[in-house]
Amino acid sequence: MTRDHDVLVLGAGLAGMRAALEAARNGADVAIVTKVHPIRSHSSAAQGGINAALGEGDSWESHAFDTVKGSDYLADQDAVEIMTQEAPRDIIEFEHMGVIFYRAPDGKLGTRAFGGASQARTYFVGDITGQALLVTLYDQILKAGVKVYEEWFATKLLMENGACRGLVALEMLTGELHLLRSKAVVVASGGLGRLYEPSTNALMCTGDGYSLAYRAGAPLMDMAMVQYHPTTLAGSGFLMTEAARGEGAYLLNSEGERFMKRYAPNKMELAARDVTSRAEATEIAEGRGINGNVLLDLRHLGPDVILKKLPQIHEMAIDYLGIDMIKEPVPVRPGMHYQMGGIKTDVSGATVVPGLYAAGEVACVSVHGGNRLGANSLLDTIVFGRRSGHASAQYAAQTVRSGGGEDLLQSEQARLQGLLDRPYSGETCAGLRLELATMMDEKVGLYRSDEGLHEALDQLREFRRRYENVAVGDKSRVFNQALTFVLELGFLLDCGETIIRDALIRKESRGAHTHVDYPDRNDEDWMVHTLLTDRGEEEPEISHLPVTITRWKPEVRTY
Amino acid sequence: MQFTIEVGRYNSDGNYAPNAVPGEPYPPPWNRSPVRRYQTYTVDLPVHAVVLDALIAIREYQDPSLAVRCACRSAICGSCAMWINGHAHLACKSKLQEFTKNGKTRVESAPSMPVIRDLVCDMQPFWDKHLAVKPWLQAKEPVPPSDQEYRVPNASMEELIQEVSCISCGACLMDCESFAVNPDFLGPQALAQAYRYAGDPRDAQTKERLGEYSKPGGVWDCTHCYECVTQCPKGVAPLEQILKLRRMAVDAGYTNNAGTRHADAFASSVKHSGRLNELTLMPKSTGFFNIVGQLKTLPSAINMIRAGKLPPLIHKAIPGVNRIKAIFERVGGRFK
């Protein structure tokens, strides 16, 4: 069945719902397409908080500088300025919508400290800040009556004369494929954590949006910049929020030493994430780890702080490791967490493809550059979600809706049927994904080398070949997840390839990209973004853009 | 370690594996839910593995046709609430070892919700109820300027974290005994969210909300079975929030309803005789002059008489009832 809207938003996390709300406020007929119910979106897993220079004595300039320094000077400073200037109003707007932010004794919003920040400017709700924002925003979507296509899985973007005019989506509940036409599409489908094993990300973070936009002609930028979070739970790899260290927790090695004093003597445990993760990896590699982990020690914070401000991670450590952090330190290690790179957009969320916008983790404005500061991701989603919603609605107002697309619907129908008809070859989707993700963690993880990256690219080509033999192990119509898993694996392969290629191109170490063959940052040659543009069967086109510098020249980065 | 999982399968296409054995029909009130076919799998997992680990292992390496919603694996996203051994739990938070009974763990989608496929249920009734309580702040005027927050004590925000911790998994509604027999009951999750807004000092519509929540299907339809408190994986304790709403509603003057009359009749009987006068409880709750309402209770009354459950016609006070009265005086408030 075909349906028409002005603006379609792909994804219902914070960026997507914020974009939809703003587009609706600007008079657009907007609909959200999401493969999971909005409340299941991974924004809810953001624990620690959201940054803004809101307090007395703080300034957006200070927030912007911390962000630029945190990014290892790869962020575009014009975009960072916009984000940090607009942050206070966006946070206040969420407070007015009903978010139950923590208060200082005077009843105003209160803060906690966070990594890489020169002062405490992280606003929060316990350790469920993402969830608190998400449920509030979802309820605003309900109130505004925005149409949500729930559990609709996007398979391809509709392109007409070089412009994006909608998408094709599979309705999980019926197995029916639909054509959704629009004047503009905002891709806000989140990250790609399933490309790495282990990862803090949820099972549905499969890089759909990166691949869909890339295949529609939008360049992907700085894909090599994959963040490893310093504190993920031993074993399961679940996130232990940076807020623990923000509240004062220590990182200890096997000798009981607060080892961060040797890596970041000023900020200690609250150095930027790339610095802290590498420090942990060094400790572990030099034999001062405990079974491949270091320890996160919260005991001195006392039960009151832990139970009131960090209840969720307290419970998770008990549930999944049997450790009560009030009494014992928790084993943690660096784990894949966030993709700084993504679909290249301007500060309005617009890509180079007319009608195609992007916001949130899937986008790269770039405000995070080589390394994102903790509590800047929630901020990114609501600032650039709002801006892309506004810009897409404006664009839609002066654009004519497409009348076509039936051919795309038919070709997608045929493609999906082809997958369903593929005979079983012994190759499983889950097995191949695990091999891919393990390889990415080993060779394209915290440390990279030319040799490892070349091997990774060769292996990826081999995975692509094997992917052609993966059969769909379920032939049913209703809720066929085996089919969507195969489609997701296809998205992940595109993400993996662009990450490896970008990592091969960048011959230096910057932010999250630590290249053992080029261990130093090279500002002479590499103050540039790398963009990869799809060319079908051929290798992607490589281009560069200079980093926008407004007022902060690159400096030596110490914490 | 080897675990045996018995999975309740359902597929409207009718595709089942030959070893999927039809189970018994569900007992009332769930007897309209389709009979599941139970398929048994054996998985090898670490001792501390959770039910979801088993389901993912089955789906990835044994049977890709198994449909199950899951995302975060850590009790944050709320996707994987289902029946495990006959009660609603999050699969990602339920240790296999604890849930192994007679050598196996049985999982199925809760029969209290419409089933879509296998472990995937239709959550629409849940979301409809959520929407029905108007779960958004109806901001108190004057709304502060766009660069200023409402100034409220932290304690008033902290008090609501319990309700905001709700992950909308639906486990409470799936096992709610009142919802099982009364589909119109707003249910534990929606009412906990109702309190989240009614209890928010920034909300301007508290009184109107309390009026709405006092109507049939609202706070008074809860039967205090405590299933929601037991099943909630996040400690939201919906029943406690419902009780808070009742107190707020009565204090706000919403007393002309069966629920308040029932509570009053209860308290009054205990105050005056030290125990419950079941004979007068029902007429007092429905209202003495509510003839239609009274007549509606007749079939139940006849059934009770038949079953020999008729309360004694003469209601006697217990010895020392004055001491009970003294307690009421001491506590004060509404029943003084």
Would you tell me which residues 321-340 of chain A have a C-beta closer than 8 angstroms to some C-beta of chain B? Answer: 322
As a residue count, chain B comes to 336
- Rounded alpha-carbon distances, angstroms, from residue A435 to A202, A227, A430, A459, B83: 18, 20, 9, 10, 33
- Please report residues of B whose CB lies closer than 8 A to that of A236: 73-74
Contact across the interface for A202 and B71, Cβ inside 8 Å? yes
Question: What are the pLDDT digits (tens) for A53-106?
Answer: 999 999 999 999 999 999 999 999 999 999 999 999 999 999 999 999 999 999
| A477 vs A557: CA distance, rounded Å | 55
Q: A372 vs chain B: nearest CA distance in angstroms?
A: 22
Other C-beta atoms closer than 10 Å to the C-beta of A477 total 17
Residue A501 pLDDT more than 70? yes
In chain A, which segments carry CATH 3.50.50.60? 1-225+340-559
Please name the residue ranges forming H helices in chain B: 51-61, 124-132, 154-158, 161-164, 171-174, 177-181, 187-198, 206-213, 227-231, 238-251, 258-273, 278-286, 291-296, 298-306, 321-331
Q: What does R_g of chain A's alpha carbons equal in angstroms?
A: 22
**B248 min Cα distance to partner chain A (Å):** 20
Closest CA of chain B from A257, distance in Å: 30
Looking at beta carbons, which residues of chain A come within 8 Å of B65? Answer: 473-476, 482
Structural domains of chain B, with CATH: 2-121 (3.10.20.30), 124-251 (1.10.1060.10), 258-335 (no CATH)
8 Å CB contact of B148 and A92: yes
B65 and A474 in contact by Cβ < 8 A? Answer: yes
Return the pLDDT at A422.
Answer: 95
Domain with CATH 3.90.700.10 in chain A: 229-335
Minimal CA separation from B146 to chain A, in Å: 6
Task: With CB atoms and an 8 Å threshold, state whether B157 touches A101.
Answer: yes
For the residues A267-294, what does the mean pLDDT come to?
96
pLDDT category of residue A377 using cuts at 50, 70 and 90: very high
Q: Which residues of A434-468 are buried (b: 16+ CB within 10 A; e: fewer)?
A: eebbebbbebbbbbbbeebbeebbebbeebeeebe
Distance from CA of B185 to the nearest CA of A (A): 21
Cβ-based neighbour number of residue A213 at 10 Å: 30
pTM above 0.90, yes or no: yes
What is the pLDDT of chain A when averaged over all its residues?
97
In A, which residues are within 8 Å of B202 by CB distance?
98
- Using CB atoms and an 8 Å cut-off, which of residues 465-484 of chain A contact chain B? 472-482
Reported confidence tier of residue B336, pLDDT bands at 50, 70, 90: low
Tell which residue, B326, B238, B199, has the closest CA to residue B274: B326
Longest Cα–Cα distance in chain A: 68
Whether the predicted pLDDT of A476 surpasses 90:
yes
Please report residues of B whose CB lies closer than 8 A to that of A316.
74-75
- Chain A residues whose CB is inside 8 A of the B72 CB are 42, 44-45, 202-203
Q: Which helix (H) or strand (E) holds A313?
A: helix A311-321
CB contact under 8 Å between A481 and B144, yes or no, is: no
Residues of A acting as catalytic residues: 229, 245
Min Cα distance B112 → chain A (Å) is: 19
* Tally of CB atoms within 10 A around A469: 13
* pLDDT band of B310, cuts 50, 70, 90: confident
What confidence score (pLDDT) does residue A84 get?
Answer: 98
Q: Does domain A229-335 correspond to CATH entry 3.90.700.10?
A: yes
What average pLDDT does this structure show over B98-122? Answer: 97
Among A251, A207, A259, CA closest to A231: A251
A100 near B CB under 8 A:
yes
Q: Is A55 on the interface with B (CB under 8 A)?
A: no
Yes or no, beta carbons of A431 and B61 under 8 Å apart:
yes
* Contact criterion met (CB < 8 Å) for A479 and B120: yes
pLDDT at A482 over 90: yes
Q: Which residues of A touch B123 (CB under 8 A)?
A: 37
* A92/B202 CB distance under 8 A: no
The pLDDT value given to residue B15: 86
Q: What is the pLDDT of residues B189-227, one digit of tens each?
A: 999 999 999 999 999 999 999 999 999 999 999 999 999
CB pair distance less than 8 Å for B15 and A143: no
Kindly indicate the confidence band of residue A14, based on its pLDDT and cuts at 50, 70 and 90. very high
pLDDT reported for residue B151: 97
Q: Which residues of B touch A110 (CB under 8 A)?
A: 154
Q: Which two tokens stand for residue A63?
A: 């927030």
Give the architecture (CATH level 2) of A1-225+340-559: 3-Layer(bba) Sandwich (3.50)
pLDDT in tens, B285-299: 888 788 888 888 888
What secondary structure letter does DSSP report for B11?
A: B
Per-residue pLDDT, B332: 79
Peptide bond into A392 cis (omega under 30): no
For residue A409, what pLDDT is reported? 98
Contact A42 B71 (CB under 8 A): yes
- For the stretch B217-269, pLDDT in tens is 999 999 999 999 999 999 999 999 999 999 999 999 999 999 999 988 988 89
Nearest Cα residue in chain A from B120: A479
Is B73–A312 a contact, with Cβ atoms under 8 angstroms apart?
Answer: no
Mean pLDDT score across all residues of chain B: 94
Minimal Cα distance from B49: which residue of A? A320
Measure the CA–CA gap between A361 and A381, rounded to whole angstroms: 7
Interface residue A419 vs chain B (CB under 8 A): no
**Contact yes or no for A101 and B149 at CB 8 A:** yes
For residues A150 and A120, what is the distance between their CA atoms, to the nearest angstrom? 38
Higher-pLDDT residue of B282, B172: B172
Specify the pLDDT at position B280.
85
Backbone angles phi, psi at A486, to 5 degrees: -65, -40
Q: What does the pLDDT average to over B97-117?
A: 97
Report CB contact under 8 Å: B137, A308.
no
Mutant choice from A35, A94, A100, A480 vs B, greatest count of B C-beta within 10 A: A100
- Are the C-beta atoms of A369 and A345 separated by less than 8 Å? no
pLDDT tens sequence across A150-167: 999 999 999 999 999 999
Check: CB of residue A22 under 8 Å from CB of residue A48: no
Chain A / chain B CB contacts < 8 angstroms = 174
Look at residue B101 and tell me whether its pLDDT is greater than 80.
Answer: yes
Encoding tokens for residue B143?
């709304």
Whole-complex ipTM: 0.95
List, as ranges, residues 510-549 from A with C-beta within 8 Å of B: none
| Banded model confidence at residue A401, pLDDT cuts 50, 70, 90 | confident
pLDDT in tens, A414-443: 999 999 999 998 999 999 999 999 999 999
pLDDT greater than 90 at residue A1: no
* A92 interfaces chain B, CB cutoff of 8 Å: yes
Cβ contact B115:B10 at 8 Å: yes
Q: List the beta bridge partners of residue A116.
A: none
Band (B300; pLDDT cuts 50, 70, 90): confident
Residue % of chain A over a pLDDT of 70: 100
Which pLDDT band, with edges at 50, 70 and 90, does A487 fall under? very high
Question: Any idea what DSSP says for residue B203?
Answer: B
DSSP state of B145: P
User: Mean pLDDT over residues A281-295, rounded?
Assistant: 96
Give the chain B residue whose CA is nearest to the CA of A125: B161
